[in-house]
Amino acid sequence: MKRSEAVDYAILDEADQALVAALRVDGRASWTRLAAVLGVSEQTVARRYRRLHSAGLLRVVGIPIGRRLGYAEWLFRIQCTPTTAPAVALALAGRPDILWIDLLAGGTEIICFPHARSVSERDDLLLDKLPRSGRVTGVSAQAVLRQFFREPLAGTPGAPRPRLDEDDELLLRALARDGRAGYAELAEVTGRAETTVKRRLDHLVGAGAVAFGPEIDPSLLGMETEAVLWLSVAPSDLDHVGRVMSGHPEVGYVAATTGPTNLIAMLVCRDADALYEYLTTTLGAMPEVRTVETSPLIRNVKRSGFVKDGVRLLDPPEIARRR
């Protein structure tokens, strides 16, 4: 993996933060559209994005939506002996089928999100390919039943899943590496004509099978505190609570799961006081929530498929082009 150039950043300035916010609305928006939204020139927008991108601080990612593609989405909680969790997390980070890896406070627990394309792939990972050593003392797996999004996904609920061929898989891999890749580059990867690639991508987006957004370390936006919440909610209230929480600005991810708790949420807050206010005021105002376990996050090892180096996102290996 190529390391990014050494650039010293603490918190992005207001203009860069505005660019990130605009990319959250449409990660593949043209420079022209972004410039109009931000009130600056196209050259300024392109220059700011490329500077952040070349420094490894910002990536736009095309993430497959598992339930629209028939993928098996799971959450693994891995318990390790003291001081060994970082090494186990780094070993897991090399696996392309694990998109997200966090170390939780205490340094003995890892959570990770595999993206298996089938139940057999999931079982293969869980039963055979997780680290087998005295460093791992326990593994629990919870199925992700439903992820809740701030904005409704495209596509008609209950519509048939898109059928993916080998070229589609290459297309999704290329978009996961660079969600703003141009049609010429995507055509080179897949071996398809640019018009075919554009038509196929429009179909996948329209079916709600892939979503685009920026990936960036929260500290660069002035958010210093991250935490994972494990919530118990009455089954009849689960959908309502998940949808409401997905609209909270502090919540970056929320999903219904199997297991001893039935809802997981990942929070990004300005500081510990802001986390406290969310727990006591925002979440405290929701009587449907029966219990909450809060696990502070001490290190994010991998985000949306990108291994972390401090606040930087390292580029994954190049994708072999179709010949």
Q: Which CATH number is 188's domain given?
A: 1.10.10.10
The confidence score (pLDDT) of residue 254 equals 97
Total domain count, the chain: 2
Domain that holds residue 50: 14-55
Please tell me the distance from the alpha carbon of residue 275 to that of residue 280, in angstroms, as a whole number: 9
Tell me the pLDDT tens digit for each residue of 192-207.
Answer: 999 999 999 999 998 8
Bridge partners (DSSP) listed for residue 207: none
Please tell me the distance from the alpha carbon of residue 302 to that of residue 185, in angstroms, as a whole number: 25
The confidence score (pLDDT) of residue 82 equals 84
Q: Is the pLDDT of residue 100 over 50?
A: yes
Q: Indicate the pLDDT class of residue 72, thresholds 50, 70 and 90.
A: confident
Q: Which structure tokens are listed for 122? A: 């999931």
Q: Is 270:225 a contact under the CB 8 Å cutoff?
A: yes
Is position 295 within any domain?
no
- What is the pLDDT of the chain when averaged over all its residues? 89
Q: Is the backbone of residue 20 left (phi > 0), alpha (psi -120 to 50) or beta? A: alpha
Is position 205 within any domain?
yes
Q: Is the pLDDT of residue 154 over 80?
A: no
The confidence score (pLDDT) of residue 135 equals 84
Please tell me the distance from the alpha carbon of residue 295 to that of residue 176, in angstroms, as a whole number: 28
* 5-20 mean pLDDT: 79
Q: Is the pLDDT of residue 5 over 60?
A: no
Q: Indicate the pLDDT class of residue 11, thresholds 50, 70 and 90.
A: confident
Tell me the pLDDT tens digit for each residue of 204-237.
Answer: 998 889 999 999 999 999 999 999 999 999 999 9
Q: Is the pLDDT of residue 84 over 50?
A: yes
Q: Is the pLDDT of residue 29 over 80?
A: yes
Nearest to 227 by CA among 192, 258, 253: 253
Is position 311 within any domain?
no
State the CATH number of the domain containing residue 37: 1.10.10
Q: Is the pLDDT of residue 96 over 90?
A: no
Q: Which structure tokens are listed for 81? A: 């002996």
Q: Indicate the pLDDT class of residue 151, thresholds 50, 70 and 90.
A: confident
Is position 143 within any domain?
no
Is position 165 within any domain?
yes
The confidence score (pLDDT) of residue 162 equals 85
* 149-173 mean pLDDT: 81
The confidence score (pLDDT) of residue 136 equals 87
Q: Where are the alpha helices (DSSP H) in the chain?
A: 14-25, 31-38, 42-54, 66-69, 85-93, 119-124, 166-177, 183-190, 194-206, 238-246, 272-277
Tell me the pLDDT tens digit for each residue of 265-316.
Answer: 999 999 999 999 999 999 999 999 999 999 999 999 999 999 999 999 998 8
Amino acid at 104: L
Please tell me the distance from the alpha carbon of residue 290 to that of residue 293, in angstroms, as a whole number: 11
Q: Is the pLDDT of residue 323 over 70?
A: no
SS3 call for 312: strand
Is position 260 within any domain?
no
Question: Which pTM was predicted?
Answer: 0.88
Amino acid at 230: W
Is position 47 within any domain?
yes
Is position 204 within any domain?
yes
